[in-house]
Amino acid sequence: MCVSGRVGNGVEVALVSDEQSGLFASVDALLEQAAAETLPVPADRKRLREAAGLSQDQVAKALNVRRETVTGWEAGRTEPRPPTRAAYIRLLDGLAARFPAPESPSDSEPRPGVGPSVIPQPQAPASPVAPAADAVAPVRPPVTAHRATAQKTAAGPQADARFTHGPLAVVDGDGTACCADGLVLDCPLTDLPSLINWVLGEGKLGAARLHRSGKDADPLIVLTTSAVQRIGLPTELEDRRGLRLPDEHHVLKQLSVAQWKLTKRGFGPWARVYRTADGARRQCVQFAVLPWGALDTRSWGTADQLPPAELARLLGTYATRVLTPCGSTAVTGLELMTALRPPTRAVKDPATGSWVSGPMPGSLTEPVECAPPEAPDGHPVVAALYPRFHQRTPDQVLDEEAYQWSRPLTDAECMKPYVVGIDVNMAFAAAANRLTVGLSAPVHVQRPAFDAKLPGSWLVDLSHIRLDERLPSPFTPHGERPTGPAWYATPTVAYAVELGYSVTPLEAYLRYEHGPYLDAWYTRLRDAYIATMADLGITPGMPEKQFLAAMADHQHTDPVLAAVLSAIKATVKGGIGKLRERARSGGWRPGEPWPALARPTWRPDIRAAVIANARINMHRKMLRLATHADLYPVAILSDCAVYPSDGPSPLDFLPYKDGKPLPGGFRLGVSPGMVKHEGTQSVLWAEGLHEEHGPDMNIARHIKTGTVSAHDGEE
């Protein structure tokens, strides 16, 4: 029932029943929903504000948001969410009534300023704009966060429609999610389950698989300190040993109530939250918690101190060129191998005609036992063969490691003013290229004939090979000549044959199924490295002087890209290292298996082959310089070699033939396997270190900075 009457100056007052009030509220909700779908395009938002003489700060204060949020709305990088969205539309409607857009010359032509906010690309054509129908209310084509897709496709191929917002987002405490390409989204931060639901729904985050038989990369959410506080997580983990949240924490209980699960490593600096797959669609989100140390400074530098948008650009660039981070750079490097060469593929069962999972040719398909000499200390195989504290000798253990070698300078070398260090770019990646590695379990063979095409471990005596003492031995990481039979990977023994010496293996563990497993891994990381260096202004084929000048300043060109470069290099070394991941503390005892042994990618023999090949590549170049230019290194540390020089630049000692770098020697350049300038110090500095710390002090360790910290002693 409705009763009406007139009061005062004739204004009609209606007394509305509760039922009619409910109807009005429903209609208002529909109007708000309709308004939420007709937000003006970004160009009109800015035009209306400026026409009214309002600043972004004034609008932000009225709507209780940050000024940067308003900037994002007007740039089209982000869209407001309810209830702020309705208030923003109300403001724009009021401004549009006062400051209408200029009328079009013809009703059949679109009104100026109403078109798309980005240049249309062939891969993502702009939506047609409706003609102006009224001079007061501007036309409002729907605009969502997908408008950023055109910006992405401008620089690359069409993005996967499922992941239009990129592989990851950095979430801040104000409820903004900064995506990789500058897009900013509003996300719920009331609790962790709500955030997960948003990521898997509206977030549209993730990355497509790198191999058709692989799996898509799960979306990554990076939580800043303020975001961690907002969803009720501590800013510091109390469990410093286990690095995980206590199982009884209320946030984990929220996840359990919402039927989300955690992996065995729990919720730590890197966490994975999932539900059982719904059909073919994965339901999984991974988290990186910045205040808990998710981004190791050794790999990422000070990336965790960057503003959210810059951090999103850094991690997004890495994710696009390498892989969405799924842990440390070492973990990601290992996962990249599996992403590029999955262990299984779909095959048709001839008996039933149905598709089943089968092994992928050329991949590591299942865990295999390593050979006894390949096993690290503490491995069950070693514990079964030797007493607990037994120190294995070279004829009992495979010791393929990078160089750590130095020698005193000769009198003639002391007369030169400088020592100059050169460093091999991506040395381990270059060593993995075209390297044949074993794919199957080892077969033990007695008295085999050596075959350089067979990957494996060989027990052979190379002590009869003598080289110039000014060069390190190519057969040991410490550079001293072997004293008797020892275990070597195939590349090391093959190099002895290359040098012209006979070899007679006593026994071997050989892998008859083999292939270039790491080729795709190398190619992916090489391309990422070259692309990032190009962004920093360093390209293949640059003149050598220009290359050296650019390298001297490239770290300061763009700190974000410099951090990407550091992470790519750490991915290479860490990924190779993970092939022989050791047992961690926390209850493990020598002789017991540890979780890494259950991985198909736990392959210490492949790690040994890569490192051996890198060391041999290094020696081959040094031998070339010694033979043809009478140049000898005075120190080597992994992929860095130090030479005496008449000048401070590598150009002052690297030899040339017919105006070109000596074939087979070190060459300056950006490509993997070529070298760059590591550092220069005086010969007096080198002699001073030897006098202070002894002849075993490896000056290659300090050639870059020239300083020795208090904890750096003798090698």
pLDDT averaged over consecutive 10-residue blocks of the chain (715 residues)? 41 44 53 57 84 84 83 79 81 81 45 32 34 33 34 44 93 95 92 95 94 94 97 90 90 95 94 82 92 96 94 97 97 98 92 90 95 96 94 97 96 96 97 97 97 97 95 97 97 98 97 97 97 95 95 88 96 98 86 95 98 98 96 97 97 91 95 97 95 89 86 44
Predicted confidence at residue 106, as pLDDT, reads 39
Strand-pair category, 437-438 with 418-424: unpaired
Predicted confidence at residue 152, as pLDDT, reads 38
Indicate the residue type of 687: E
Predicted confidence at residue 146, as pLDDT, reads 35
Residues of the chain with CATH 1.10.260: 25-99
Give helix 490-498 / helix 604-629 axis angle, nearest 10°.
20
d(CA 186, CA 167): 16
Predicted confidence at residue 239, as pLDDT, reads 83
Predicted confidence at residue 134, as pLDDT, reads 33
| Torsion sign across C-alpha atoms 371, 507, 432, 426 | positive
Indicate the residue type of 539: T
Element (H, E) at 573: helix 559-578
Contact by Cβ (8 Å): 431, 611:
yes
d(CA 154, CA 140): 25
Indicate the residue type of 623: L
Strand-pair category, 3-7 with 456-461: unpaired
d(CA 190, CA 192): 7
pTM, whole model, 2 decimals? 0.78
| Torsion sign across C-alpha atoms 362, 363, 365, 370 | positive
d(CA 389, CA 377): 10
Predicted confidence at residue 280, as pLDDT, reads 60
Locus of tokens 């907002």 = 230
Predicted confidence at residue 49, as pLDDT, reads 87
Predicted confidence at residue 102, as pLDDT, reads 62
Give, as one character, the DSSP assignment of residue 509.
E
d(CA 546, CA 627): 29
User: Which of the four CATH numbers 1.10.260, 1.10.150, 3.10.450, 1.10.1060 does domain 25-99 have?
Assistant: 1.10.260
Contact by Cβ (8 Å): 671, 540:
yes
Establish whether the linkage from the previous residue to 380 is cis, with ω within 30° of 0: no
In our burial notation (b when 16+ CB lie closer than 10 A, e otherwise), range 633-654 reads bbbbbbbbbbbbbeebbbeebb
Predicted confidence at residue 60, as pLDDT, reads 85
Give, as one character, the DSSP assignment of residue 111.
P
